[in-house]
Amino acid sequence: MGLRRTAATPLGRLLDIHFGADLSPWTAGRESALYWVLNDTVRGVLVTVDPVRGEWLLEIPALTPEEERTYFEGEVDHHRLIEAAIGAPREAIEGLRIHSVRNWVMGSTGLESWRSADGRVLAAGDAAHTFPPTGGFGMNTGIQDAHNLAWKLAAVLRGGAPEALLDSYERERRPVAEFNARHSEVNALQKRALLQSDADPQEFARTIEDHRPHFDFEGQTLGFTYEPGPGESVVQDVVTYRPTAEAGHRAPHAWLDRAGDRISTTDLSRTGFALLTGAEGADWEQVAKENPTFMGLPLTAAVITTDGPELRAVGGAFADAYALKGTEAVLVRPDGHVLARLPGTAPRRELGQAADRIVNGGPVPARAQEPS
């Protein structure tokens, strides 16, 4: 297909030992997704795969040239490494059985272009990018790719949008994927430094908090934007998610009541575009009736009030998150991101301008900023 692969400098080689065992004598009361292991024999991480079934992964990076030779060139006693990681002889570890062993190189890969030269093939997920697993961003990023691309393909194939709309896919998604790749690499390097540290246990425990962005990343997962300001990163805060209904951002969740059923604002754009407006934006309902499709996909209008008969805001979350003024409406895309905030002074023209904006480029940068 002519898609040219790129690869960043590898970050190191690792040994993975996937094994089964009952580790409850050591984990009961201290359950965790990851256990850091540092002793004279093993420096690595014990990953919880399935604690109920007793499945674990011992991941050991080669931190020195000597460890490279030990783990990957000679005969390795994998049972001894498990014993050292747990701190008990194998006969004391009930049900110990090694399922598989592998070694692999950690790094990021990408493509020079996410679309083939003839325009007929677009790459998403691992076909477009791979990251180190430090953070676990690969699946989220791939699903976001598909979510972004699916409605654009539908709009073009149904004839509601020009093929140029498909160019917005890479323009929006590449900066997010590149940010996630860089952040994964930062996590990997910090993890390596932590495992190489000779600090005493108290110092080691103190530095764990410095690694919060490795494990607590709601702002990165939900807070990225397709329209960062000049010089801004697509992710402003890795840890903290601050909902906003500005263009490019994920439309915030807020609970609504619809004829006695509790729904989310995010439910309103599941099958097409949604115009979210307040009590003074009732004219948007008529606009949606006159124009039941937008870019070839269904268009609905949702008038949300505090006491309306159809869609009623529950509490003040909707008003706080969307901050609608007068006849203003927020146009939400089928992938849940805000396409535009429309003032409502000339609704039909504003809808057309919103479509032109994404097709023709809009203020979306070609590259992501480095993670802080």
**All domains of the chain in start order, with CATH:** 5-106 (3.30.9.10), 121-222 (3.50.50.60), 255-359 (3.40.30.120)
The helix (run of H) or strand (run of E) holding residue 358 is helix 347-359
Q: State how far the Cα of 178 lies from the Cα of 371, in Å rounded to an integer.
A: 10
Residue 45's contacts (CB-CB under 8 Å, 6 or more residues apart) are: 34, 35, 36, 37, 58, 59, 191
| Cβ–Cβ < 8 Å for 99, 17 | no
Model confidence pLDDT, tens digit, residues 100-158: 999 999 999 999 999 999 999 999 999 999 999 988 999 999 999 999 999 999 999 99
Q: State how far the Cα of 28 lies from the Cα of 186, in Å rounded to an integer.
A: 32
337 or 201: which leads in pLDDT: 337
pLDDT at 199: 63
- Planar angle of CA 337, 214, 168, nearest 5 degrees: 25
Residue 254's contacts (CB-CB under 8 Å, 6 or more residues apart) are: 264, 265, 313, 314, 317, 318, 321, 322
Long-range CB pairs of 286-295, under 8 A, 24+ apart, other chains included: 287/347, 287/348, 287/351, 291/348, 291/351, 293/160, 294/160, 294/351, 294/355, 295/155, 295/160, 295/161, 295/165, 295/355
pLDDT at 242: 95
How large is the average pLDDT for residues 226-243? 94
pLDDT at 362: 57
Please name the residue ranges forming H helices in 98-211.
138-157, 167-196, 201-208
Q: Percent of the chain having pLDDT more than 90?
A: 79
Nearest CA to 154 out of 272, 248, 250 is that of: 272
Is the pLDDT confidence value at 75 over 60? yes
pLDDT at 74: 79
| Cβ–Cβ < 8 Å for 146, 125 | yes
> What mean pLDDT is reported for the chain?
92
| Cβ–Cβ < 8 Å for 18, 99 | yes
How large is the average pLDDT for residues 339-345? 96
